[in-house]
Homo-oligomer: A and B are copies of this chain.
Amino acid sequence: MSNKQYNVALVGATGAVGQKMLETLEKKNFPIKELKLLSSSRSAGKKINFKGEEYTVQETTPESFEGVQIALFSAGGSISKKFAHEAVKRGAVVIDNTSAFRMDEDVPLVVPEVNEEDIANHNGIIANPNCSTIQMVAALKPLQEKYGITRVIVSTYQAVSGAGNLAIDELKDQSQAFLNGEDMKAELLPVSGDKKHYPIAFNALPQIDVFQDNGYTYEEMKMINETKKIMHAPELHVAATCVRLPFFTSHAESVYVEVGDENIEVADIQAALANADGVILEDDPSNQVYPTPLSAAGKSEVFVGRVRKDLDNKNGFHFWVVSDNLLKGAAWNSVQIAESVIKNNWL
């Protein structure tokens, strides 16, 4: 990489993902010339430290993006819809972590280990996939490449941080209330804008995001549609059940996949995963080695364990994928895209 530096804006700087984006930019030593921290009017005025300097968060306006070359958006779909094109108009490349543009035909949806080359076709906006999708396709890609895949059925185990800082607080407060023998107040989850709220502490909620007319949740449809788009596999069969659980960080997924070859064995799948970019195989049942949400928290990679062959279908395999939903599932994947844009002169 050259020594060039870039003007970067971060929209949604005070959120759970925004905080992780700042940590990631700092940790990866991203070449920032000037940094603008932006937010909704509600969070404007807050002070945030970055590399030892204090920044004041500013309210996002179209003019915020004057002179900005890279704009990271993670403040909700409505903010992205309102301001992403304003940023592009002013010459920025937008890397958007919301679902606003993910399925737009002229917007690349990118997990760099899977389809980095799609970034080249961007028209100003590059979308960061849904957290639960990213870690799954990172694990599916090496299997698709080596053996072909025809079918995926996934059940997820998702952390509350995917619903933001307030959901983290809600899990903490409810957990303490329950341990104290008090009633739990449910005011946010499963979906802040939905009609009913249920306790998440010591519970499991089979609803992430709002229900669609077909009975699937929006989160499930995101996993289904985004997986096909990222993997360039419109004919791939994908089914998803998404469940919110009482832990803070990392999503886990129980994945069933059918590959295109009946002669593949567990060792082949393990080898493909062990050699894949961004994937770490943690799979040794005899020593109880497998990833968990706690073991993956704070790490950038996607961890896979519990690889085993289906007992009835020779081309079927089951495995368990875990990754930090705020890092590879959001902040790190976005920064990776930004690094790729720079490295490949795709600005």
Contact = CB atoms under 8 A, between A and B. Distances in A.
Contact of A214 (B175, B207, B290, B308): B308
Contacts of A346: none
Nearest to A310: B239
Interface stretch (A22-30, A92-100, A243-251): A243-251
Interface in A40-97: none
Contact of A248 (B202, B205, B306, B316): B202
B243 A246 contact: no
Given A198-B292, A203-B294, A248-B202, A256 B239 contact: yes
A179 B309 CA distance: 39
Interface residues of A, number: 58
Interface in A301-324: 305-313, 316, 318, 320
Contact of A179 (B172, B195, B246, B247): B172
Given A246-B246, A288-B195, A239 B305 contact: no
Nearest to A286: B211
A204 interface: yes
Interface in A161-198: 172, 175-176, 179, 190, 194-196, 198
B202 A292 contact: no
A252 interface: yes
Contacts of A239: 256, 310-312, 316, 318
A204 B243 contact: no
Contact of A195 (B203, B205, B256, B287): B287
A101 interface: no
Contacts of A290: 206-207
A191 to B, nearest CB: 8
- Chain copies in complex: 2
Contacts of A233: none
Nearest to A216: B308
A245 B157 contact: yes
Interface in A249-291: 252, 254, 256, 266, 285-288, 290
A204 B241 contact: no
A312 B238 CA distance: 8
Given A206-B252, A308-B216, A157 B243 contact: yes
Nearest to A203: B294
A293 interface: yes
B206 A312 contact: no
A285 B208 CA distance: 12
A107 interface: no
A274 to B, nearest CB: 16
A156 to B, nearest CB: 9
A12 interface: no
B285 A194 contact: no
A62 to B, nearest CB: 37
A248 B196 CA distance: 23
A199 B313 CA distance: 34
A294 B199 contact: yes
